[in-house]
Amino acid sequence: MKKILVPIKRVIDYNVKVRVKADGTGVDLANLKMSMNPFDEIAVEEAIRLKEKGAAEEVVVVSIGVKQAQDTLRTALAMGADRAILVVTGDDVQQDVEPLAVAKILKALVEREGPDLVLAGKQAIDNDMNATGQMLSALLGWSQATFASDLEVEADKARVTREVDGGLQTLEVPLPSIVTVDLRMNDPRFASLPNIMKAKRKPLETLSSEDLGIDIRPRLAILNTEEPPARPPGERVTSVVELVDKLKTEAGVI
Amino acid sequence: MSILVLAEINDSTLALDATQRAVTAATQLGTVTLLCVGHGIEQAAVQAATINGVSGVIQVEDAALAQRLAEPTAALLADIVKGYTHLLAPATSDAKNILPRVAALLDVMVIADIISIDSTDTFRRPIYAGNAIQTVQSLDAIKVLTVRTTAFEPAPCNQQASIKTATTPELPVLSAWIENSVSSTERPDLASSKVVVSAGRGIGSAENFNIINQLADKLGAAVGASRAAVDAGYAPNDWQVGQTGKVVAPDLYIACGISGAIQHLAGMKDSKVIVAINSDEDAPIFQIADYGLVADLFEAVPEFSEQV
C-alpha cells in the first residue's frame, strides 16, 4: 500500500464543558481549548502504525475548516504523519462545515492524491454526526467499514472488525476503501518534543474550497441552539435502606 | 408527506422496539410506509405490519442484503426512496452505517439522532455530547433522518397492514461478510430496558461484575458499563453507555462506581430517575443523580440486592 489519507478535525477539547450562547446562535467557542478530535487521533495512530509495520509508505493528513486547523495538522505530523493538506473554508470558527461538503472536498483530494486507504474517525465530538466517512465512500463508489476496532491490511484488501450494537462484526473490504475507527482500535501516542520540532519542517500545503471548486453552502439552516433542559436537584441518601425506600415509595420505580 | 421508514432487522429478526419508536416519529410527518430489507425476513415483515400507523410494508428480499452491508443496502434505499419525502430509521449502528451513504448518493445531508420534530423540515438534535440542542431546518428535497429511539414512545402493535414484495435492482457487492461475534445475554436489551444497572472503573474486575449482574437480575434490568470499564476489559464493548456507545433513557438508571464524565452522561442523562453509588462524594455523577449514596459499591450493591 502506497498511501493512507487521514482526515482530521479541530474541535473543542473533549474535557471542556461547553456553554451555549444566550442569543441561541450556537455554542461559544471563543478562547476555548481546541484539540484534535479524539477519534481522529486514533485514525492517525493507526495509519502511522501501518507505516511502521511496512504496510504503507506515506501518511497524508488533511483538515478542513479555519486556518487555525494547521495546529491540529502539526500535531498529526508530530505524531508521525509525513505531510499535511489544509483546506481553508472560511475564517469564522463558529462555522462548522457540514459532512456532505467535507466529503465532497475529501473526494477531490482523494482523486488528486490517489490513496489506497482513507482512515477517518467515526464521528466528531462537536456535531456528533457520524456521517463523513460513509458519505465520502458513497461519493467515491468505494467500500466502507465503519466503527472499526481492528484492522488488518493485506495486499489488495483489508479485514476489519466493527463494533456493532450486538457485539462485533468482521468484514473484508477490497482496497481502496474507507475505514472509520472506533475508540478501541488503539491508544494514540503522545508527540515527543523533538518530533514536535521536526513537524514544523514537514510540508503543509494550504488550499481553499474555491481552489477545489466545491460548493460548501450548508443544506441545514441552524435556527436555534439551546441548553438541554436542566434536571431538578437531587438528594443524598445515607443508607441503602433509605435508598430502596425512596425508590419504592417516592419515585415508584422499583 | 410520504414517509419511508427502514425497519431495523438483524439476522432476519425484527428489532421491534426500535422500529416501533421510529414509526412513532414518522407518523408525526405523514403517511408511513415501512421497508423491510434483508434475507429470510418474511416473519419480520409480518410482525412489522402489525405496528400501528404503518400504512403498508414493502418487503425486499435478496441474498446480497443478508447482513445489510452498507454498499448494497444503501444503493437499494437510494433507489426506493425516490417518490418519498422522508427516509427515517432508528439510530442504531446499522442505520448509522447505511443512512449517511444513502444521503450522499441522493446529494442530501443526513440529520443524525433527532430527538423531536418541529415540522416536516425542522428537527431538533443534540450536539456536543448532548450539552446543546440544535434546531435545524433542512433545505434538501428528501430528508434523511436517524431517530434517537429513547426520545419517542413505541407505537402499539394491533393492526395488519398489507405487505408488498418489491424486486431488487442490480446491487453493488463490494465488501464480504466474514463473521459476527454476538455477545449472548438473557437480560433485557440495553437500549429499551426499563431499568439499567451500570458499573464503571470502580468495579475493578470482570469477576466483580457479578454483584452488578445480581442486582440487575433482581430488578429485571439490563447491564451497562462506562468506557473505563469496557477499556479495562471488565465488560464487552456493546455494554458501553455514552456518547460513543448506546444512548439509554430508562425509568431507573443505577450508576455504580461511575465518576460521570461528560461522555458517559451523554448516554444516560435523560433517564427518568438516576441513582449514583460512589465512594467519592465529589464525583460529577452526583450533580445529575436524583438519589446519591456515598458508599463503597462492594458493600452497597449486594445490600441493595438483598433489599429488593
Across the interface, which of B140, B236, B275 has its CB nearest the CB of A219? B140
> So what's the pLDDT on residue B221?
98
> So what's the pLDDT on residue B186?
86
The mean per-residue pLDDT over the stretch A77-93 comes to 96
Interface residue of B9, B99, B110, B117 to substitute, partner A, most A CBs within 10 Å: B110
> So what's the pLDDT on residue B182?
87
What are B196-211's pLDDT values in tens digits? 999 999 999 999 999 9
**Closest-CA distance of chain B to residue A5, Å:** 19
**Closest-CA distance of chain A to residue B161, Å:** 29
What's the CA gap between B183 and B28, in Å, rounded?
Answer: 35
> So what's the pLDDT on residue B297?
98
**Closest-CA distance of chain B to residue A101, Å:** 9
**Cα-based angle A152, A153, A157 (whole degrees, multiple of 5):** 120
The mean per-residue pLDDT over the stretch B19-44 comes to 98
> So what's the pLDDT on residue B34?
98
The mean per-residue pLDDT over the stretch A36-55 comes to 98
Residue B9 clears pLDDT 80, i.e. is over it: yes
pTM value is 0.97
The mean per-residue pLDDT over the stretch A19-41 comes to 95
What's the CA gap between A49 and A45, in Å, rounded?
Answer: 6
Confidence band, pLDDT 50/70/90 cuts, at residue B184: confident
What are B15-31's pLDDT values in tens digits? 999 999 999 999 999 99
What's the CA gap between B294 and B210, in Å, rounded?
Answer: 21
What distances in angstroms separate CA A78 from CA A55, A121, A202, B143, one per listed residue?
20, 18, 9, 41
Which chain B residues are closer than 8 Å to A137 by Cβ? Answer: 70, 101
The CA dihedral of A11, B141, B20, B254, to the nearest 10 degrees, is: 10
> So what's the pLDDT on residue B1?
95
Which sign does the torsion angle of CA B90, B96, B97, B101 carry? positive
Closest CA relative to residue A121, chosen from A15, A41, A45, A59: A41
What are A110-158's pLDDT values in tens digits? 999 999 999 999 999 999 999 999 999 999 999 999 999 999 999 899 9
In chain B, residues 5-34 whose CB comes closer than 8 Å to chain A: 10
What's the CA gap between B97 and B41, in Å, rounded?
Answer: 20
Phi, psi of B274 (to 5 degrees): -115, 130
Could you give the ipTM of this predicted complex?
A: 0.97
Contact call for A234 and B139, based on CB within 8 A? no
What are A170-188's pLDDT values in tens digits? 999 999 999 999 999 999 9
Question: What whole-number percentage of chain A has pLDDT above 70?
Answer: 100
What's the CA gap between B190 and B249, in Å, rounded?
Answer: 10
Closest CA relative to residue B147, chosen from B102, B121, B113: B113
Reading the block at residue A251, the C-alpha cell is 419515585
Residue of B nearest to A248 (CA): B308
Contact call for B237 and A184, based on CB within 8 A? yes
Q: Is B159 near chain A, with CB under 8 Å?
A: no
Question: What whole-number percentage of chain B has pLDDT above 70?
Answer: 100
Contact call for B71 and A144, based on CB within 8 A? yes
The mean per-residue pLDDT over the stretch B211-238 comes to 97
What are B155-166's pLDDT values in tens digits? 999 999 999 999
